[in-house]
Every structure is written in structure tokens, then in C-alpha cells.
Amino acid sequence: MNKSDSQKKGKLFVITAPSGAGKTTMRNYLLENNPDLYFSVSATTRQPRPEEVIHKDYHFMTQEKYNNHLNNNNFLEHAEVFGNYYGTLKQPILERLEKGIDVLLDVDTKGAKQVKQKISEAILIFIEPPSMEELERRLRSRGTESEEVICKRLREAEFEMAQRDFFDYRVVNDVLEDARKEIGNILSPREI
């Protein structure tokens, strides 16, 4: 191994999107197709959903434990999202990047901006819906949220969409196959 190989750091990819735009769909696709990519499991004070696996989907924790992490400066970024608290634990990510392993974060837009402030080389990808009507249709058809929550997420989506120019890449998730190709190419650019 030459000197430049030993110094090569991993890349930090951050995907963000209005709720319902297809972030989870894209994230799962990227993880299935990039077995060496490390997914950063976030801490949250939210209750687990029935299908969620503890420490795989999230590190579910009490507000007290979350506050301890916050006070000990353990988070790379953190935010309140729809009434719950979320944070990205710094240490596992920095360790991977140092070893040359690429890392994927799935965070809200506030968190993505904090990451960019701290790690300017982070690559921010904003997934957008083809239209607000389609976003609403997807949120309703997923059937995981109440009417009140859907309305709240749609209002928040307007605000998030207004900030989309801030991000390094924007991927419109209209035809799923096209969006998958586009995001896949951001992570592993094809040789021309």
C-alpha cells in the first residue's frame, strides 16, 4: 500500500428529503447495492414502530439518555423533527471515515445543514417529489400516519422544498428506476 492509499478517507453521503418523497426507498436501494457502505444508525427519543428493529433502524432511547449524549457533545448533528428528538452519534462515523469506509446518513434538512457546517466535504443529496400533489398521494398511500400528521408533514415539506438549492445534488424521485440510477451514480460515478 502506498502513502496515498493509507491516507484515503471515506466519503460522507447525507440524504435528506421531505417526508414521503422516497428517502427510505432510496436508502434501502443504496444499502442493498453498496455492501461496503456504512449506514449511520441515529439516536431517537421516538417510540419504535412495530416493524422496526432496535439498534438497526434506530438507537431508541429515553429523553434522559439522549440529553446525556447531547451534553457530552456526542452528536455530529441533532434536531427536533415532528416533536421527537434525533441525533447522529459522531464517533462511529468518524472512525469509519478514517478507515476509508464510505458512510451514509439519513437526516432531516436541519441536520444535513449542520453536518455540512462541520464537515464541508460531506456530499448532501436532496430527494424531491415530482410535485406536492404526488407527495401527498404517497404519504396517504403509505398509510403509516394519521390525517393530522400528514397535514403537518405537508406543511413542513413546503418549507423544506424552498431550501432545496442549498444541497449539492437534487434527485427528483418520479420514475423510481430513473431516480435509483441517478442516486446510484452519485455514490459510484460510472467511468466514461
Applying CB under 6 A, does 136 fall inside the site for ligand ADP?
no
154 φψ region: left (φ > 0), alpha (ψ -120 to 50), beta (else): alpha
* Residues touching ligand 5GP, count (CB under 6 A): 14
Q: Please give the span between the terminal C-alpha atoms of the chain, in angstroms, as a whole number.
A: 27
* Residues touching ligand ADP, count (CB under 6 A): 14
Query: Given candidates 16, 19, 42, 44, which one binds ligand ADP under the rule CB under 6 A?
Result: 19
The Cα 39–Cα 30 span in angstroms is 10
Residue 119 amino acid letter: I
Applying CB under 6 A, does 108 fall inside the site for ligand 5GP?
yes
| Cα 126 → chain centroid | 9
CB of 140 to ligand ADP, least distance (A): 9
Q: Under 8 Å CB-to-CB from 159, ≥6 apart: which residues?
A: none
Of 25, 41, 34, which Cα lies nearest the Cα of 129? 25
> Length of the chain, please?
192
Asked if residue 46 lies in contact with residue 58, where contact means CB atoms within 8 angstroms, the answer is: yes
142, interface contact from ligand ADP, ligand 5GP, none, CB < 5-8 Å by kind: ligand ADP
**CB-wise, 100 or 149, nearer to ligand 5GP?**
149
**CB-wise, 8 or 132, nearer to ligand ADP?**
132
Residues that bind ligand 5GP (CB under 6 A): 19, 42, 46, 77, 79, 81, 86-88, 106-108, 110-111
Applying CB under 6 A, the residues found at the interface with ligand ADP are 17, 19-25, 138, 141-142, 173, 176, 179
